[in-house]
């Protein structure tokens, strides 16, 4: 689905967003990376959720910097759809992985505890760290 389709269907809307809101989302992504590293050994489910949230916050920062905001219904899903539409096939594998992790996060948060193991958190955290760096760079070059 392309960006125009996302806008037409109301999954994404154009909006003026302040640079402060972009910076705040990036700050939250950095905070979540730090926290995920700290808690992953103690609680894999929460470490996973926090690492995932770092990805989400960085993704939102990118969206905001481009002048878009996701619809509140299915906001996480719409955020990843936006990134795929804007960043394209070069990042499709990474974004598809994060979308799968979105579904797993729902299980970890709302389903049964203990479904996530430490190695999964470490894998997600590695991908999240690289992704947050990528997004920071894209925001700098596109701003």
Q: Residue 141's pLDDT is what?
A: 85
Q: Residue 1's pLDDT is what?
A: 83
Q: Residue 101's pLDDT is what?
A: 86
Instruction: Tell me the pLDDT band of 110, cut-offs 50, 70 and 90.
Output: low
pLDDT score of 113 more than 70: no
**Cα 49 from Cα 11, distance rounded (Å):** 23
Q: Residue 114's pLDDT is what?
A: 66
End-to-end CA distance of the chain: 25
Q: Domain count of the chain?
A: 1
Using DSSP's 3-state secondary structure scheme, residue 12 falls into: strand
pLDDT tens digit sequence for 47-76: 999 999 999 999 999 999 999 999 988 889
The CATH number assigned to the domain holding 85 equals 1.20.120.330
Range(s) of the domain holding residue 36 = 3-142
Instruction: Give the β-pairing of 12-14 and 68-70.
Output: antiparallel
Q: Please tell me whether the overall predicted TM-score, pTM, comes out greater than 0.85 for this model.
A: yes
Mean pLDDT of the chain: 90
Q: Residue 133's pLDDT is what?
A: 97
């Amino acid at each position: 689905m392309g960006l125009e389709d996302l806008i037409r269907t109301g999954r994404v809307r154009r909006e003026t967003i302040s640079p402060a809101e972009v910076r705040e989302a990036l700050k939250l992504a950095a905070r979540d990376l730090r926290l995920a590293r700290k808690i992953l050994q103690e609680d894999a489910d929460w470490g996973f959720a926090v690492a995932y949230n770092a990805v989400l916050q960085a993704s939102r920062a990118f969206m905001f910097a481009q002048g878009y905001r996701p619809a509140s219904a299915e906001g996480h899903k719409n955020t990843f759809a936006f990134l795929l539409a804007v960043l394209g096939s070069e990042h499709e594998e990474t974004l598809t992985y994060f979308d799968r992790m979105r579904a797993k996060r729902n299980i970890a948060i709302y389903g049964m505890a203990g479904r996530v193991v430490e190695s999964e958190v470490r894998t997600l955290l590695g991908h999240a760290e690289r992704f947050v760096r990528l997004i920071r760079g894209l925001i700098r070059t596109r701003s």
